[in-house]
């Protein structure tokens, strides 16, 4: 609905940080199903490409800026799969072609009835992932790697099957509120690419943690931490992996920590290696650890947010993020009047959204709308100026952003419906 129409009877709802904003959509659900295919057709970002029906690495020499240069990396985050009912456990079956020296990890997370996501968990082949609370939506992330320049692995299909719970393989909820004192280093690497595909800007604001379990999608703030140095604090999203390690979720209890479960909760492996010679004084790649860092800070967070001038100890607080309140409105500019539809796949127009500044509620993936080199698969739920409420308009009509992007005027990723 346009600003003019909204002024007649609506009051602007305060914007809230989306708790489940993602770079990918939700698939259709069926309440009776016990098996769900994962959509692999959205590849094309984070150094992945869909080739002959298989997801693989696009650039065989590209890698995140903070990762060792000897391997290529690609990451594919699939559309969210709605399950249609609450499911306590799933088996993830990934069909992989794996050349010598290459690897594929399949990460999975679930969203419960309150809208809160679990941490990401790497699914073991043939083993069930059990959720601490039954989930009604699931998302899969593929991490592909290979020696730099060598043949990359590929994935032809991923399927989710309902399974009996296995307490030994529980997908942890988001980290409970807890604070740890860890050593922080400045990431720098401006112009480089993070593990989630974000291109690092000058004086950027994000953090890196040494595990993918809380790695967020580019532009999303589902997972974030509050970092304090002296009297100054900043809450920042987790958009990269590091320093030193990639499987060190030190914020989790020893029994569920992915690696180095003999260390106390809250102690990064790099800290133990540096201070007491743990693991021979090396990180997971065999490198000699030269500082005890457990978090990297982007330059803007380091300099502007915290006022730091050198690497130092900070307090990092982990807390579960809440989903946006129901009915939260995100304000966007549209460059022309646009047709609206009852669903993202419908072709029967139900009304019109006038051009100008409008509010939308959420986004969903659907049929492609575009002209020339401009296009968008995202659809935004809105209340049009004519026709019934809660209809969908194509994000192609957004005045800002680019192809297959769906953000509000402030740059906030619009959450999934």
Which pLDDT tens digit goes with each residue over 260-287? Answer: 999 999 999 999 999 999 999 999 999 9
Count of all residues that appear for the chain in the document: 417
398: CB partners within 8 A, 6+ apart: 332, 333, 334, 335, 376, 405, 406, 407
Asked if 167 and 92 touch (Cβ cutoff 8 Å), the reply is no
Exposure of 251 by Cβ count < 10 A (0-12 exposed, 13-18 middle, 19+ buried)? buried
pLDDT tens sequence for the chain (417 residues): 544 344 333 332 332 333 333 444 444 434 457 999 999 988 766 788 899 999 999 888 887 766 777 888 899 999 889 898 999 999 999 999 999 999 999 999 998 888 888 999 999 887 899 998 899 999 999 999 999 889 999 999 999 999 988 765 566 665 557 899 999 999 999 999 899 888 899 999 999 999 999 999 887 888 989 999 999 999 999 999 999 999 999 999 988 899 999 999 999 999 999 999 999 999 999 999 999 999 999 999 999 999 999 999 999 999 765 566 667 888 899 999 999 999 988 899 999 999 999 999 988 888 999 999 999 999 999 999 999 999 999 999 999 888 988 888 877 788 877
3-state DSSP of the chain: CEHHHHHHHCCCCCCCCCCCCCCCCEECCCCCCCEEECCCCCCCCCCEEEECCEEEECCCCCCCCCCCCCEEEEEEECCEEEEEEEEEEEEEEEEEECCCCCEEEEEEEEECCCCCEECCEECCCCCEEEEEEEEEEEEEEEEEEEECCCCCCEEEEEEEEECCCCHHHEECECCCCEEEEEEEEECCCCCCECCCCCECCCCCCCEEECEHHHCCCCCCCCCEEEEEECCEEEEEEEEEECCCCCECCCCCCCCCCCCCCCCCCCCCHHHHHHHHCHHHHECCCCCECCCCEEEEECHHHHHHHCCCCCCEEEEEEECCCCCCCCCCCEEEEECCCEEEECCCCCCCEEEEECCEEEEECEEEEEEEEEECCEEEEEEEEECCCECCCCEEEEHHHECCCCCCCCECCCCCECCEC
Which residue is it, tokens 């935004």? Answer: 380
Biggest alpha carbon–alpha carbon distance for the chain: 69
CA-CA-CA-CA dihedral for 32, 389, 394, 111, to nearest 10: -40
- First vs last C-alpha separation in the chain: 18
CA-CA-CA-CA dihedral for 387, 393, 399, 401, to nearest 10: 160
């Amino acid at each position: 609905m346009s600003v003019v129409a909204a002024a007649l009877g609506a009051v602007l709802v305060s914007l809230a940080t989306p708790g489940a904003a993602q770079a990918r959509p939700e698939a259709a659900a069926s309440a009776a199903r016990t098996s769900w295919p994962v959509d692999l057709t959205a590849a094309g970002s984070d150094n992945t490409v869909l080739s002959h029906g298989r997801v693989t690495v696009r650039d065989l020499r590209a890698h995140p800026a903070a990762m060792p240069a000897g391997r290529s990396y690609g990451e594919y985050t699939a559309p969210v799969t709605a399950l249609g009912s609450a499911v306590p456990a799933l088996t993830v079956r990934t069909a992989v072609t794996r050349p010598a020296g290459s690897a594929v990890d399949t990460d999975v997370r679930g969203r419960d009835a309150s809208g809160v996501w679990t941490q990401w968990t790497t699914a073991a082949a043939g083993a069930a992932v059990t959720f601490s609370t039954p989930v009604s939506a699931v998302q899969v992330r593929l991490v592909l790697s290979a020696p730099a320049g060598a043949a990359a692995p590929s994935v032809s299909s991923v399927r989710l099957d309902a399974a009996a719970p296995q307490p030994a393989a529980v997908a942890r909820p988001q980290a409970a509120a807890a604070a740890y004192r860890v050593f922080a280093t400045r990431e720098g690497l401006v112009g480089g690419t993070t593990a989630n595909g974000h291109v690092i800007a000058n004086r950027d604001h994000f953090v890196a943690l040494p595990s993918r379990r809380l790695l967020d999608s580019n532009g999303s703030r589902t997972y974030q931490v509050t970092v304090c140095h002296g009297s100054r604090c900043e809450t920042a999203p987790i958009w990269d992996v590091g320093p030193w390690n990639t499987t060190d979720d030190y914020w989790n209890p020893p029994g569920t920590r992915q690696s180095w479960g003999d260390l106390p909760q809250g102690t990064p492996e790099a800290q133990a290696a540096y201070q007491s010679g743990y693991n021979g004084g090396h990180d997971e790649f065999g490198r000699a650890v030269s500082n005890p860092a457990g978090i990297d800070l982007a330059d803007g967070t380091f300099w502007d947010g915290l006022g730091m001038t050198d690497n130092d100890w900070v307090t990092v607080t982990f807390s579960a993020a809440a989903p946006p309140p129901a009915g939260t409105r995100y304000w966007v500019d549209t460059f022309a009047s646009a047709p609206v539809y009852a669903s993202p796949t419908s072709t029967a127009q139900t009304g019109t959204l006038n051009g100008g500044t409008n509010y939308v509620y959420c986004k969903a993936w659907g049929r492609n709308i575009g002209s020339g080199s401009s296009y968008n698969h995202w659809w935004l739920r809105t209340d049009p100026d004519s026709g019934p409420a809660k209809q969908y308009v194509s994000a192609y009509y957004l005045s800002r952003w680019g192809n297959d992007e769906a953000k509000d005027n402030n740059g906030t990723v619009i959450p999934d419906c």
